[in-house]
């Protein structure tokens, strides 16, 4: 969270990007604590690795210093704090953290956990759901990444002198 | 509903929302476009937390089936967020490409300067 505040305050974009890498690794550790090992791995690889490289590539193509605050910050601050308070108020309707009988654990998740081995022979339930039960979703995701890659290529075409090759391809 | 215990039962959501609001603030308040995209990234990662946190069961293990464990955390949010991470990076890549094109066309990536330039023409 300290890292976040530093990201908000810092003007040097290079430092901001370095901090966003740090932030991604911290986020990966938090996800690890929440038992989401696959997500933590992806966040460490994609968030800390690929995003940082992409941001640095973009920084190479542009400028690395942000100008001092050119506009009053009061309105955004009020909007942000207001939204935050409303959201925090709303979370008190959510079930408490970590209990086993929350509604989220009652619907399809038990089916996946009980039948994954029988139906897919994959012990890692996340992989089973991703590639087996919901493989059309994953296919759609691949299409999105492919489209983004095409978009990046089209946008950066015609730039021959300084090439950065920032693609959207990720595992 | 004891207010204090209730707060600690929802502490993770409060942390998530602080991150989310920080991202929102960067997106609104900062004129630099790379900074805006980083704010968008913060917002996205806070959404990951928002999805993953309810899937955690205290005492549960990661959802990799094994005979020695009986309680697993919910695998479904993990799947959704894996998709979201990859799509998020695709979005950021496209945004950065657009930013570098804007820099090529205007010579700046500050929103205010771009608006001023447009007004002159």
Q: Which residues contact A129 (CB under 8 A, 6 or more apart)?
A: A112, A116, B75, B76, B79
Q: For residue A70, what pLDDT is reported?
A: 57
pLDDT tens string B10-56: 677 777 788 888 888 878 877 778 888 888 888 888 888 888 877 77
For B73-84, write each residue's pLDDT tens digit. 777 788 888 888
A79-85 long-range contacts (CB < 8 A, ≥24 apart) are A79/B24, A79/B28, A80/B21, A80/B22, A80/B24, A80/B25, A80/B28, A80/B29, A81/B21, A83/B21, A83/B24, A84/B17, A84/B18, A84/B20, A84/B21
- Counting Cα atoms < 13 Å in the Cβ hemisphere of A129 gives 23
pLDDT of residue A171: 39
Domain residue spans of chain A: 1-66
Mean pLDDT of the residues in chain B: 77
The average confidence (pLDDT) of chain A is 72
Helix (H, G, I), strand (E, B) or coil at B74: coil
pLDDT value at B58 more than 60: yes
> Which residue among A70, A84, A123 sits closest to B65, beta carbon to beta carbon?
A123
Kindly tell me if the per-residue pLDDT of B119 is higher than 70: yes
Given a cut of 70, whether residue A168 has pLDDT beyond it is no
Residue A5 sits at the chain B interface (C-beta within 8 Å): yes
According to the model, what pLDDT value does residue A130 have?
A: 75
Q: Which residue has the tokens 């209990």?
A: A99
Domains defined for chain B, CATH in brackets? 3-120 (1.10.287.3510)
Decide if A43 and B45 are in contact by the 8 Å CB cutoff.
yes
Residue A162 pLDDT: 47
Tell me the average pLDDT across A110-119: 71
ipTM of the predicted assembly exceeds 0.95 = no
| Mean pLDDT, residues A139-144 taken together | 86
Of all residues in chain A, what percent carry a pLDDT higher than 70?
A: 65
Best of A148, A167, A169 to mutate (most B CBs within 10 Å, chain B)? A148
pLDDT of A62 above 50: yes
Contact A8 B25 (CB under 8 A): yes
Of A3-12, A72-81, B31-40, highest mean pLDDT: B31-40
């Amino acid at each position: 969270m300290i890292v976040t505040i530093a990201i908000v305050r810092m003007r040097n974009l290079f430092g901001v990007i370095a901090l966003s890498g740090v932030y991604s690794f911290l986020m990966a550790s938090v996800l690890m604590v929440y038992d989401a090992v696959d997500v933590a791995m992806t966040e460490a690889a994609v968030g800390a690795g690929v995003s940082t490289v992409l941001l640095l590539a973009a920084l190479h193509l542009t400028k690395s210093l942000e100008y001092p605050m050119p506009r009053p910050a009061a309105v955004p601050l009020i909007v942000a704090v207001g939204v935050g308070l409303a959201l925090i108020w709303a979370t008190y309707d959510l079930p408490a953290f970590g209990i086993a009988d929350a509604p989220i654990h009652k619907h399809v998740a038990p089916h996946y956990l009980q039948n994954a081995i029988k139906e897919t022979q994959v012990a890692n339930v996340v992989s089973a759901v991703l590639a087996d039960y919901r493989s059309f979703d994953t296919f759609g995701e691949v299409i999105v990444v492919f489209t983004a890659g095409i978009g990046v290529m089209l946008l950066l075409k015609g730039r021959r002198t300084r090439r950065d090759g920032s693609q959207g391809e990720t595992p | 509903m004891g207010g204090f215990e209730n707060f600690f039962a929802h502490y993770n959501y409060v942390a998530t929302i602080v991150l989310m609001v920080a991202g929102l603030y960067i997106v609104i308040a900062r004129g630099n476009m790379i900074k805006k995209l980083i704010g968008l990234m913060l917002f996205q990662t806070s959404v990951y937390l928002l999805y993953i946190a309810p899937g955690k069961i205290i005492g549960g293990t990661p959802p990799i089936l094994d005979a020695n464990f009986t309680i697993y955390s919910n695998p479904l949010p993990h799947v959704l967020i894996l998709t979201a991470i990859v799509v998020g990076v695709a979005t950021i890549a496209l945004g950065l490409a657009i930013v570098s094109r804007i820099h090529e066309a205007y010579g700046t990536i500050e929103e205010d300067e771009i608006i001023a330039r447009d007004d002159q023409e």
